[in-house]
């Protein structure tokens, strides 16, 4: 069997005649709108200051949208969306569907994960008789995929987390919450901080501060063996970095 139930996710059904237009003005990506375009997209909701609130997938259905979000962020996201709804014809309900993932040829109802092809496919259905998905930390680290609540936190700017590379932001779609900040970081500044792939020699758990000659460089995040994701100041990311007693070596930046 090469398909699995992915726990820790909540699927929300969004209905109502204004569902697409409502979300279109809020989130970082463009929602496919039309019976012939049912692509799965990856997107985020930001604060007006351009910082991360939640990331999720959206899958268009004939009369609804499925929103696939981490369970830890689902209630907060629903609260925010309800706050923005005002009088729009939009309704939110929890779906009985679960997230199904796999790494072989995708079934007809599945979509390749829009963040990276190495992450396989994603679909929604009944998880009965399916095994729980294996720990994918090594895969996320290898391909520099930030995770909800780990690399993606309330302090995160999405371009520093590689959202453009992950197909999670559309700069041609027009306004969304936080769009001005995101556009400024894209067109008017050079990213000085961001996620990077590093090699770690020694014991250093996620959350360990990374330093160079006593100066703060960043923070270690997801780790698989001697490979890890780190949030770094690129101007300070040089030979000689340490995380506690462990040696840290830069491999590549998220915006490379």
User: What is the distance between the alpha carbons of residues 78 and 47, in angstroms, rounded to a whole number?
Assistant: 14
- Burial label, 189 (beta-carbon count in 10 A; 0-12, 13-18, 19+): exposed
- Specify the CATH class of 191-256 in words: mainly beta
User: What is the distance between the alpha carbons of residues 105 and 222, in angstroms, rounded to a whole number?
Assistant: 28
| Spans of all domains in the chain | 3-141, 191-256
3-state SS, residue 90: coil
> What pLDDT score does 87 carry?
92
3-state SS, residue 60: strand
Residue 149 · residue 9 · CB < 8 Å: no
> What pLDDT score does 254 carry?
64
Sign, CA torsion 225/231/235/236: negative
Over the chain (256 residues), what is each successive 10-residue block's mean pLDDT? 92 97 97 86 97 98 96 98 95 98 93 97 96 96 97 97 97 94 92 96 97 97 97 95 97 67
Tell me which of 3.30.70.1400, 3.40.718.10, 3.40.640.10, 1.20.200.10 is the CATH number of domain 3-141: 3.30.70.1400
3-state SS, residue 80: helix
Residue 77 · residue 45 · CB < 8 Å: yes
User: What is the distance between the alpha carbons of residues 196 and 160, in angstroms, rounded to a whole number?
Assistant: 9
Sequence-separated contacts (24+) of 116-124 with Cβ below 8 Å: 116/143, 116/145, 116/166, 118/142, 118/143, 119/143, 119/145, 122/40, 122/57, 122/68, 123/99, 124/11, 124/59, 124/66, 124/68, 124/95, 124/97, 124/98, 124/99, 124/100
Could you tell me whether strands 9-15 and 91-94 are parallel, antiparallel, or unpaired per DSSP bridges? antiparallel
Residue 254 · residue 161 · CB < 8 Å: yes
Ramachandran angles phi, psi of 241, nearest 5°: -70, 150
| Tokens, residue 111 | 């979509």
Ramachandran angles phi, psi of 231, nearest 5°: -100, 120
Q: Quick count: other Cβ atoms within 10 Å of Cβ 118?
A: 13
> What pLDDT score does 255 carry?
60
User: What is the distance between the alpha carbons of residues 85 and 196, in angstroms, rounded to a whole number?
Assistant: 37
């Amino acid at each position: 069997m090469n398909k699995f139930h992915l726990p820790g996710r909540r699927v929300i059904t969004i209905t109502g005649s204004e569902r697409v237009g409502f979300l279109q003005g809020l989130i970082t990506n463009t929602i496919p709108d039309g019976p012939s375009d049912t692509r799965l997209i990856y997107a985020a909701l930001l604060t007006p200051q351009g910082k991360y609130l939640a990331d999720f997938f959206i899958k268009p259905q004939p009369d609804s949208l499925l929103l696939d979000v981490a369970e830890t962020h689902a209630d907060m996201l629903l609260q925010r969306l309800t706050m923005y709804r005002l009088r729009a014809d939009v309704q939110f309900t929890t779906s009985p569907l679960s997230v199904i993932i796999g790494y072989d040829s995708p079934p007809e109802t599945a979509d390749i994960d829009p963040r990276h092809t190495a992450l396989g496919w994603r679909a929604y259905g009944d998880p009965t008789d399916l095994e729980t998905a294996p720990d994918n930390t090594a895969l996320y680290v290898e391909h520099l995929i930030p995770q909800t609540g780990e690399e993606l936190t309330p302090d995160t700017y999405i371009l520093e987390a590689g959202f453009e590379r992950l197909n999670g932001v559309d700069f041609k779609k027009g306004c969304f919450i936080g769009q001005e900040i995101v556009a400024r970081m894209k067109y008017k500044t050079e990213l000085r901080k961001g996620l990077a792939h590093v090699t770690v020699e020694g014991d250093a758990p996620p959350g360990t501060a990374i330093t160079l000659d006593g100066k703060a460089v960043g923070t270690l995040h997801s780790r698989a063996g001697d490979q890890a994701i780190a949030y770094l100041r690129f101007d300070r990311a040089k030979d000689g970095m340490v995380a506690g007693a462990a040696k840290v070596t830069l491999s590549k930046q998220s915006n490379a």
